[in-house]
Amino acid sequence: MPTSPRHFLVDTDLTQQEQSEVLDLARRLKADRWAHRPYAGPQTVALLFDKTSTRTRVSFATGIADLGGSPLVVNPGESQLGKESVADTARVFSRMVSTIVWRTYAQEGLEEMAAASDVPVVNGLSDAYHPCQILADLLTVREHRGDPAGRTFAYLGDAANNMAHSYLLGGATAGMHVRVAGPEGYLPDPAVVAAAEERAASTGGSVRVTTDPDEALAGADVVCTDTWVSMGQEAEREARARIFAPYAVDAAALAKADPEAVFLHCLPAFRGCEVTAEVLEGPQSVVWDEAENRLHAQKALLVWLMARSGRYDLATGS
C-alpha cells in the first residue's frame, strides 16, 4: 500500500544509513547493468527542466528506461508550469507519473512541489543544492578510495554555490571530513554549514570552511571543484574569473593533497578556469567515472524512493 512519499530535495533527506543503502543498490545495479532485469519501481517519470542539462537529462532518461519505465522530459515553455501554480502541477503530475524530477532555480519551488505531490519529488539541481550529483560522487569515491567515512574531502572555488552546499551536507552525511575553501563573500550559507556540522556530529565527520585553499588541500583524499559561473550567473563571468583565480585546481594545488587523491568535477568543466586541462585529463582525475555514476546512483535512488514510499518491495522485487 502506498504510504507518504519520500522526497529527495536536499542531501540530508537521507540519513547516513539510507545514503549507504542507496549506494549499495547503485553498486549492484551497475554490476547488473546489461542483465536487463527491470525493477518494477518507476513507471513514467516526469523530468522537468527549467535550466539546461546534459548529464542529468541523459542519466535519468537512460536509467528510467533501464528500469523498465518511461522518461517524460518537459522542457521550459512546454507545460503550464509558470502559468498555473506549482502545487496544481504537482497534483496533476502525481495522479499520472510515479516520480517527479525537477531542475529549477528556487529550492522553495521544490518544497512546494513536494508538499502537494503524492509521489516522490527529486531535486535535479536547484540554486541551493545538487544532491543527486553527490550520490554519484560518493559512489565514485567508494570505487576509487573505499568507504568515504573518515576520508578528507576538499572543495575549492565558489563555496556559496549549489555544489558546495551539497558537498557539505552529503559529505557530512557520509561521515567525511569536508573542507570547503573560497574567497570572502563566496562562502557557504551559514545555515547550511550549521546543518552540516549537526549531521557530522552524528556520523563522525567534520566540517571546515576557510578562505585558504592550502588549508583545505593539505593531505586531502578527494579534491574537487566546480564551475565559477553557475547557470544564471553568466553576466558575472569576468569578475568571477578574477575573484576565484587563487582557487583554481592545477598540478601544484593537487600536489598538496594526498598522493593517492582523486580529482572530481561534476562537469561541465571549463579548462583554464577552475581546473587545468592537465589535472582534468590527468591520472588522478576520475571525472568520467563520476559522470557515468550519475546513471547508477539515480537508478538506485528511484528504486529506493519507490520502495520507501510503499510502491515497491525491494525484497521481493515486485
59 touches ligand NVA (CB under 6 A): no
149 touches ligand CP (CB under 6 A): no
Side by side, the strands of the sheet bearing 99-103 are: 70-74, 44-49, 99-103, 121-123
Pairing of strands 206-210, 222-225: unpaired
Helix (H) or strand (E) holding 223: strand 222-225
Residues catalogued as catalytic: 103, 130, 133, 226, 266, 294
Helix (H) or strand (E) holding 203: helix 190-203
CB of 274 to ligand CP, least distance (A): 13
How far is it, in rounded angstroms, from Cα 287 to Cα 13? 25
Among residues 99 and 227, whose Cβ is nearest to ligand NVA? 227
Taking contact as CB under 6 A, which single stretch among the options 48-56, 91-99, 171-179, 195-203 is the one that binds ligand CP? Answer: 48-56
Beta strands in 228-310 (DSSP E): 262-265
CB of 87 to ligand CP, least distance (A): 26
Helix (H) or strand (E) holding 133: helix 131-145
8 Å CB contact between 100 and 92: no
Binding residues for ligand NVA restricted to 108-167, rule: CB under 6 A: 125, 130, 161-163
Out of ligand CP, ligand NVA, none, what residue 54 binds, judged by CB under 5 to 8 A for its kind, is ligand CP
Out of ligand CP, ligand NVA, none, what residue 230 binds, judged by CB under 5 to 8 A for its kind, is ligand NVA
54 touches ligand CP (CB under 6 A): yes
CB of 296 to ligand NVA, least distance (A): 18
* Residue 253: how many other CB atoms lie within 10 Å: 23
8 Å CB contact between 98 and 44: yes
Binding-site sequence positions for L-ornithine: 162, 226, 230-231
Q: Which residues are paired to 154 by β-bridges?
A: 179, 223
CB of 162 to ligand NVA, least distance (A): 5
Query: What count of Cα atoms within 13 Å lies in the side-chain half-sphere of residue 68?
Result: 11
Among residues 297 and 307, whose Cβ is nearest to ligand NVA? 297
Among residues 66 and 226, whose Cβ is nearest to ligand NVA? 226
8 Å CB contact between 5 and 119: yes
125 touches ligand CP (CB under 6 A): yes
230 touches ligand NVA (CB under 6 A): yes
Residue 255: all three cell numbers together: 600536489
DSSP letter assigned to residue 74: E
CB of 65 to ligand CP, least distance (A): 17
When binding is defined by CB under 6 A, the residue of 8, 14, 46, 55 that contacts ligand CP is 55
Beta strands in 84-131 (DSSP E): 99-103, 121-123
166 touches ligand CP (CB under 6 A): no
Query: What count of Cα atoms within 13 Å lies in the side-chain half-sphere of residue 139?
Result: 34
When binding is defined by CB under 6 A, the residue of 40, 149, 231, 314 that contacts ligand NVA is 231
**Residue numbers of the site for ligand NVA (CB under 6 A)?**
125, 130, 161-163, 226-227, 230-231, 266
**Residue numbers of the site for ligand CP (CB under 6 A)?**
53-56, 125, 133, 266-267
